[in-house]
A and B are shown apart, each in its own frame.
Chain A
Amino acid sequence: MNDSATAAIHFQEVDYAIFDVTILKKITGSFPKGKITTLVGPSGAGKTTLLKLCNGLISPTAGDIFINEEPISSYDPIQLRRRVGIALQSAPMIQGTVFQNLALPLELQNKKLTEKEALHKLADVGLAQPILHQKVDDLSGGQRQKVSIARTLMNRADILLLDEITSALDPTSVHEIEQLIIDLNCKYETTIIWITHNLQQARTIGHYTWIMADGEVIETGEIDILTSSTNKRVQRFVQGNLA
C-alpha cells in the first residue's frame, strides 16, 4: 500500500492550511493504480479537501503529491484536471440545460458534443431523453447528481475522484451508479477514489480504504480493515456509523 511504484496518486507528508487554519496534517499514503479506494470519515475530516488537492484545485502548503510518480507541480494544471477528473460534492451546474452541462467539458476544448453522444451518456447514468433539454434548475437532487457524474465522465480521465456522488439517490439508482463505476474500473482500469458516508457501500465497492478523522489519515489498507482494524479511533467511527 505504501509502495509508490504502483500508486496512481501518492501523498508525501502533505499539509494543507488556509488562513492559518490547518485542515490536513502530515498526510502520507498511496492510492493504488487501477483500483477502487474508498475514503471514509466523519464530516469535516478533510475528505473533500484531499480530493481537491488531487485535481489541482488547491495546492499543498507543505509536502508533495505524486501523480503517476511525477510531482503534481510538474503537470500543466489543465492537462492534470482532464486526467484526474472530479465529481464535486455539491454537483454544481452552469446555468442552462442538461445538454449544455454535458457539453461543457468538450466545449472547454473547443469540441462539440452530439445529441446522440449526450443521450448515450445520460443512459449510462440512468437518465432518459426527455431530460436532455430541461433547465438544470428544474432537476431533482438525484437527477442533478447523475448529470454531474455523466459530465465528469466526458473527459475520460484515467483517475476519477468521486465525492459522495450517490448521497441523494434512491437505492436502485445507487446500485446502477455503483455498477457503472465498477464497470469503468474493470474495462478501462480507471483508478477510483470514492468518498462515501455509507460504510456498507464502501465495503461492497472498494478494494482499499482510507479512513480519515480531524484532518489526519488514521488508517489505510485493504477494505477489510474497516472491520478488522485494531485502531480504537477506527473502531469507534465504524461502530458509530453502523449503529
Chain B
Amino acid sequence: MTYLTLSITLIFVLIPLFLSKTLHLQLEKDTIIATVRSIIQLLAVGYVLKFVFEAESFFFIFLMVALMIAVATDNARKKGKTIKGITWKIAITLVVIEILTQSILLGFGVVPATAQYIISISGMVIGNAMVLAILFLNRFTAEVEARREETELILSLGGTPKQAVRQPLIDAIKTSMIPTIESQKTIGLVQLPGMMSGQIIAGADPVQAVQFQLMIVFLLLTNAAMSSVLLGFLSYPTLFNERMQLIKRKR
C-alpha cells in the first residue's frame, strides 16, 4: 500500500463526519481528534518499530516492552483506585506474565529471539493481560462490596482475611476468565483473529498463520488465569487492616 492509496481510505472518515454534521450528532470534533491521533500514534510506532527491528539490540527491545507495561499499568490502575499500591501490583503482575511467556517461548525455541517476534507477542500478551486486569478488578471490588456481610461473618467466627475473601476472590477470578474461554470456542467461525488476518493479507501461508494464531490462543489462556490469580492474591490483603478488620470505605 502507498500513502496515496492510504489517503483514499480517508473517505471512511468523511462518511461519519458527514453523518454527524447532518444528524447533529456533534461527534465531528471527537472523530477528527481520534483520526489525527491514530495517524500520529501508529506512524510513530511504525517508525520506532522499524528502527528497533533494524537495530536488533536487546536494549531497545527491553525498552519497548517496559514502555508497553508502563502504559498498560497506567490504564488498568484507574480501575482499582480503592486498592492500596495498585499500580505496583498491576506492574508486577504484567512483568511476571511477560517473563513467564517469553521464557517458555524463547526457552523452548518456539519462536526465534528476534525483535519482530518478541515485541509483537509482548504487545498481545500485555494488552490482553491489561484488559483482564481491569475486568478482574471491577469484579473483585464489586464482589467484596456486595458480600460484605458474609466476609464480616467469617471474620467474626475467627476466620483469617484470606478465608473471608476466598469466595469473592474465586468468583471474580472465574468471571474474568470466562470471556477468554468463551471467545475461543467460536474463534475462526465468526471472526478471523486480527493477527491471523494481518498475516494472511501480508501474504503468509494461511496454515502458517493459523499455527501462530493457535499459539497466541494458548498463551492467552495462561494469561487469563495468571493475571487474575496474581492480581487477586496481591490485592486482597489491602482490604484488611492489621487487626484483621475489613477496612470501611466511604461510598
Interface residues of A (CB under 8 A from B): 18-19, 55-59, 73, 77-79, 81-82, 85-86, 88, 90, 92-95, 104-105, 108-109, 151-152, 154-155
Contact = CB atoms under 8 A, between A and B. Distances in A.
Interface in B99-124: none
B197 interface: no
A158 to B, nearest CB: 13
Interface stretch (B14-22, B148-156, B174-182, B205-213): B148-156
Nearest to B171: A95
Contacts of B244: 56, 77-78
A78 B159 CA distance: 7
B184 interface: no
B150 A92 contact: yes
A96 to B, nearest CB: 10
Contacts of B160: 78, 108
Contacts, number: 65
Contacts of A18: 248
B53 to A, nearest CB: 53
11 contacts: A57-B246, A58-B245, A59-B245, A78-B158, A78-B160, A85-B157, A104-B154, A105-B157, A108-B157, A154-B157, A155-B158
A73 B243 CA distance: 8
A70 to B, nearest CB: 15
Nearest to A104: B157
A108 B156 contact: no
Given A57-B156, A88-B153, A95 B245 contact: no
Interface of B: 149-150, 152-160, 163, 167, 243-246, 248, 250
B150 to A, nearest CB: 6
B156 A55 contact: yes
A94 B167 contact: yes
A29 to B, nearest CB: 23
Nearest to A154: B157
A57 B248 contact: no
Contacts of A152: 157
Contacts of A58: 245
Nearest to A78: B158
Nearest 8 CB-CB pairings of A with B: A92-B149, A82-B158, A81-B158, A77-B244, A108-B159, A92-B153, A105-B157, A78-B158
A121 B101 CA distance: 52
Nearest to B241: A59
B158 A88 contact: no
A77 B156 CA distance: 9
B163 A57 contact: no
Given A19-B250, A77-B243, A86 B156 contact: yes
A188 B156 CA distance: 22
A234 to B, nearest CB: 30
B102 to A, nearest CB: 39
Contacts of B149: 88, 90, 92
Contacts of A151: 157
Given A59-B243, A85-B157, A92-B153, 5 more contacts: A81-B158, A88-B152, A88-B156, A105-B157, A152-B157
B152 A155 contact: no
A104 B157 CA distance: 8
Nearest to A83: B158
A110 B239 CA distance: 24
With most chain B CB atoms within 10 A of its CB, the pick from A77, A105, A155 is A77
Contacts of A73: 243
Nearest to A161: B156
A108 B248 contact: no
Nearest to B246: A57
A227 B96 CA distance: 68
A143 to B, nearest CB: 17
B156 A95 contact: no
A88 B245 CA distance: 16
Contacts of B159: 78, 108
A81 B157 CA distance: 6
Contacts of B163: 108
Contact of B155 (A19, A81, A95): A81
A176 to B, nearest CB: 23
A92 B163 CA distance: 16
Contact of B150 (A78, A85, A94): A94
A165 to B, nearest CB: 14
A162 B158 CA distance: 16
A152 B155 CA distance: 12
Scoring A58, A88, A108 by chain B CB atoms within 10 A of each residue's CB, the highest score goes to: A108
Given A90-B149, A92-B149, A57 B154 contact: no
